[in-house]
Amino acid sequence: AFCQRRKTLLNGLSASGLLSKEKMSACIQQAGLKPTIRAERVSPDEFTHLTQVIDNYSKKYQATPYSTK
């Protein structure tokens, strides 16, 4: 998210391919941030909380290679 500091948080994280842009936007908002915020404006604590939200979302909704669902 911080490689290109003038990118919005949503665009920077969406480029990771971890989640779709829509799902990433939902996670950012759930973390209490605006998707249009610039990555350099996110505090370390906010970024930590966001990673926890994304991790929880991924665990809840993403199938693992070994899942039988």
Mean pLDDT for each consecutive 10-residue tract of the chain (69 residues)? 70 88 95 93 95 91 51
Distance CA 18, CA 55 (A): 10
Whole-structure pTM value: 0.78
Distance CA 55, CA 52 (A): 5
pLDDT at 7: 81
Question: Burial of 28 by CB count in 10 Å (0-12 exposed, 13-18 middle, 19+ buried)?
Answer: buried
pLDDT at 62: 66
